[in-house]
Structure 1
Amino acid sequence: MLSFANISRCQIRKLETPARGFIRNWYRGPIPVSWKRPRIGWTKLNFDGSCKGTAGEASIGGVFRNHEAKFLLGYAESIGIATSTVAELAALRRGLELVLENGWGNVWFEGDCESLVDTIVKRKTVTCKEAQKQVSRINLIMPQLENCVVTHVFREGNRAADKLASIGHQLQKPEIWRHIPPDDILQIVEEDAKGKIVFRRRFQR
């Protein structure tokens, strides 16, 4: 389990365990990936954006769970025409808005777009105006949280959010699910809670 020791107020960073670094550099077989629970007192958001083509119909989704892996809230919506980068940022931004609405103070944010995580953690500059708007909103909200951490996970560890982002394409209006997950992700949520391992091919994108 990832350690959250010595995290200062709203210290945003990218976590990578030594074990994962070892796997990335030396392990030649399939990589075992699983969803990890947050520590007691923390809420975890897995978020994802979906885009049809380089720039096309886009949607977002996200799942909040607690240290017992219990489903707290899920969201999905279509956001119109956007790039994949904007969709990923919009998914995180919407998740942050819901964090404020629900009063969660210690939050672990996890997505499967490594470039987005680098943008937020390392404060990298983005050139797209719409992406800039999303980043600005994210940077305004995060300091309001008591503690927060942003990490990257392979897609195999982000399956519930990925599924909700796909569902977003079908929606006419934004949807929020509280306490009980939609049927489409129920099995994934249960598997994640049990620590199911999904194997990823080493050179899979």
Structure 2
Amino acid sequence: MWKNPNDGAFHGVNKTLSAPSLLQAVKIRAELGWKAWNAPSPLMGRMNSPRNRIEVQVGWKPPSVGWTKLNVDGAASANSGIAGASGLLRGADGSWISGFVAGVGSCSAICSELWAIFHGLKMAWRHDCRTLIVETDSQLAIQLVKDRSHPLHPYAALLMAIRRLLAQDWIVNLVHVYREGNRVADWLSKHSLVYPYGTHELETPPHELLQLLQDDAEGATFARLIIPSPGSPHL
């Protein structure tokens, strides 16, 4: 309610909404905040009783032959508000195909995760990857992409752009992974915060990533405590 008139006063954006539309916009933003608040997080995991958790080994797994894997991640600085996105493509042998970092301006952490999916899909299409697995450690980002969002949703335009990319003539599986299986994209996302606005493709990996890439290719795993879901093979 406060932001709507300020957009017109300070940014020249005239979005005069009727009372019902304004209330709907407030409702959508409240629902988004509620989803983010209730999304699984390491902090919530620590609040659960250890008796309800089991230890599993988590690591990056290469795609099957004929498939390409895209790992993506986003980051937002709590101090500056600057956000970035990143991703990388790898084949069945774990080899680097391409990567990117992107400065996406000032936005929330979940918005940076969506930008990472968007830019990652565009990169994969440019590289003729037509059978693709997309891995992200943000369950909320996957949920937002798969759910039908209202036109007044704060990320509606970005979500529609992602869905248009997904609707192209290819096979794309969007999958959640734990952070231990997304370490390279996580490193790149933090690295992206120092880049200027825009997308910067990386034909070769930064030298600092070589050890992480080798660990992934060799099947390195890391212990993580999880709460198994019903029907989980770990039960």
TM-score range, shorter chain: 0.7 to 0.9
Shift of 1:54: 9.5
**Structure number with larger C-alpha Rg:** 2
Q: Is structure 2 residue 162 aligned with structure 1 residue 138?
A: yes
Shift of 1:125: 2.5
Relative contact order higher in (CA < 8 Å, ≥ 6 apart) = 1
Do the aligned residues in 2 keep the contact of 1:44 with 1:110 (CA within 8 Å)? yes
Paired position in structure 1 for 2:103: 78
Find the partner of 1:110 among 135, 157, 163. Answer: 135
- Separation in 2, partners of 1:186, 1:199: 22
Paired position in structure 2 for 1:43: 68
Structure 1 pair 153/184, CA: closer, same or farther in 2 (3 Å)?
Answer: same
Paired position in structure 2 for 1:94: 119
Say which structure is richer in helix.
2
- Separation in 2, partners of 1:86, 1:198: 28
Q: Is structure 2 residue 172 aligned with structure 1 residue 148?
A: yes
Over the aligned positions, Cα root-mean-square deviation in angstroms equals: 2.2
Do the aligned residues in 1 keep the contact of 2:70 with 2:124 (CA within 8 Å)? no
Q: Is structure 2 residue 214 aligned with structure 1 residue 176?
A: no
In the TM superposition, what whole-angstrom CA distance separates every residue of 1:30-76 from its partner, at most 9, and x where no partner exists?
33111011111111100000012399210001011001111111111
Deviates most, 181-190 or 64-73: 181-190
- Separation in 1, partners of 2:65, 2:226: 32
Shift of 1:200: 2.0
Q: Aligned AA for 1:153?
A: V
- Separation in 1, partners of 2:52, 2:69: 28
Structure 1 pair 172/55, CA: closer, same or farther in 2 (3 Å)?
Answer: closer
TM-score, normalised relative to structure 2:
0.69
Q: Is structure 2 residue 216 aligned with structure 1 residue 192?
A: yes
Do the aligned residues in 2 keep the contact of 1:54 with 1:84 (CA within 8 Å)? no
In the TM superposition, what whole-angstrom CA distance separates every residue of 1:103-151 from its partner, at most 9, and x where no partner exists?
2111100000011112223x2426642x212111111011114211010
- Name structure 1 gaps, 5 residues minimum: 1-25
Paired position in structure 1 for 2:183: 159
Structure 1 pair 27/194, CA: closer, same or farther in 2 (3 Å)?
Answer: farther
- Name structure 2 gaps, 5 residues minimum: 1-50, 228-235
- Separation in 2, partners of 1:155, 1:78: 21
- Separation in 2, partners of 1:194, 1:104: 23
Shift of 1:84: 1.0
In the TM superposition, what whole-angstrom CA distance separates every residue of 1:87-108 from its partner, at most 9, and x where no partner exists?
0000000011112211211110
Paired position in structure 1 for 2:84: 59
Which contiguous aligned blocks of 4+ residues in structure 1 show a shift greater than 3 angstroms?
A: 26-30
- Separation in 1, partners of 2:103, 2:140: 22
